[in-house]
C-alpha cells in the first residue's frame, strides 16, 4: 500500500453519462477527487451533483476532447490547480459504423481522431505531472471489437486495437517512473447508446455471450476502479476484458 497522505486527482473523459459516469462515481467512492470531462456541461453537473450527494468530491469541466489544444489545456489547468494529477481515464469514444466498402474517409478519420488521437494527446499531457509526483495510473477504455473485430466497425475496431498497443508501450516506457497503464475492454454493455438498438441485435449479442446477458456500466466501473487503486501497482500493460465471456467463444 502507498503512504499517500493527500487526495488523488483523477481526470475522466466521457464522464457525462453511461459507463463514464459510472466510472466517475466508483473512483470518487474510493476517496479520489474526480474531474468530470465531456462536452455537455449540464449532464456533467448532474453527475457531479450525484457524486457530491454521495459524499464524494468532484468538479466538472466542459471540453471537446477532439480539440487537441483544449484537451491539453484542460489537463494542464487541472494539474496546475491541484498541484498534481494522479489518474487518467480515457473513456470517451464515438462510433461511425458502416461496412468497409461504404465507409467514407471522414467516418474513418473522425473515429480515429476521437478514439485514438485524443488518448495519445491526453496521455502525453498527463504523464508530465504523474512523473513529477512519482505515481500514476492510466486506464484506457478499449473494446472487444478491438480484440476480435466486428462487421461494420473497421474504423472503431482499428482505433481500439491501436489503443491496446499504445497502452502496452506506455506501460513499458513508464514502469520505472511508477506509472502503470492498462486497458479495460468492455463487451456488450447496457447504456443509452445500446438502448436504441433493435431487440434482434441485442438478443444476438446475448446469444453470443456465455453469461447470456448484457453487462452493466457499474461492472466496467469496478474493473477501472481496481486498476486505478493503490493495490494495483503491480498490474501494468494488461487488457482486462469485461465481456461476459464473449471473447472466449
Residues carrying an active site annotation: 156
In whole angstroms, give the CA distance from residue 171 to residue 182: 7
What does the block give as the cell for 15? 464522464
In whole angstroms, give the CA distance from residue 242 to residue 219: 8
- What are the Cα distances from residue 55, in Å, to 8, 32, 43? 16, 11, 19
In whole angstroms, give the CA distance from residue 203 to residue 2: 45
In whole angstroms, give the CA distance from residue 24 to residue 16: 9
User: Is the separation of the CB atoms in 165 and 240 below 8 Å?
Assistant: no
Which of 86, 100, 170, 102 is CA-nearest to residue 136?
A: 86
In whole angstroms, give the CA distance from residue 7 to residue 115: 29
In whole angstroms, give the CA distance from residue 60 to residue 146: 30
What does the block give as the cell for 9? 486527482
Q: What is the DSSP letter of 171?
A: H
Give the phi and the psi of residue 66 in degrees, each rounded to 5. Answer: -75, -15
Amino acid at each position: 500500500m502507498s503512504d499517500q497522505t493527500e487526495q488523488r486527482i483523477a481526470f475522466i473523459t466521457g464522464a457525462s453519462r453511461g459507463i463514464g459516469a459510472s466510472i466517475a462515481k466508483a473512483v470518487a467512492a474510493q476517496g479520489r477527487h474526480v474531474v468530470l470531462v465531456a462536452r455537455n456541461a449540464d449532464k456533467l453537473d448532474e453527475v457531479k451533483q450525484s457524486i457530491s450527494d454521495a459524499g464524494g468530491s468532484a468538479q466538472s469541466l466542459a471540453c471537446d476532447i477532439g480539440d487537441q489544444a483544449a484537451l491539453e489545456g484542460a489537463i494542464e489547468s487541472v494539474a496546475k490547480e491541484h498541484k498534481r494529477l494522479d489518474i487518467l481515464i480515457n473513456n470517451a469514444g464515438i462510433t461511425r459504423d458502416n461496412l468497409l466498402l461504404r465507409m467514407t474517409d471522414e467516418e474513418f478519420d473522425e473515429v480515429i481522431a476521437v478514439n485514438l488521437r485524443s488518448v495519445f494527446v491526453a496521455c502525453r499531457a498527463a504523464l508530465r505531472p504523474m512523473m513529477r509526483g512519482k505515481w500514476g495510473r492510466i486506464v484506457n477504455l478499449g473494446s472487444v471489437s478491438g480484440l476480435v473485430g466486428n462487421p461494420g466497425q473497421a474504423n472503431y475496431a482499428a482505433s481500439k486495437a491501436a489503443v491496446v498497443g499504445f497502452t502496452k508501450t506506455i506501460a513499458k516506457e513508464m514502469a520505472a517512473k511508477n506509472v502503470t497503464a492498462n486497458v479495460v475492454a468492455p463487451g456488450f454493455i447496457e447504456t443509452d447508446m445500446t438502448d436504441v438498438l433493435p431487440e434482434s441485435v441485442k438478443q444476438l449479442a446475448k446469444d453470443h455471450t456465455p453469461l447470456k446477458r448484457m453487462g452493466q456500466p457499474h461492472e466496467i466501473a469496478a474493473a477501472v476502479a481496481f486498476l486505478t487503486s493503490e493495490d494495483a501497482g503491480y498490474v501494468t500493460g494488461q487488457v482486462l476484458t469485461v465481456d461476459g465471456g464473449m471473447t472466449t467463444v
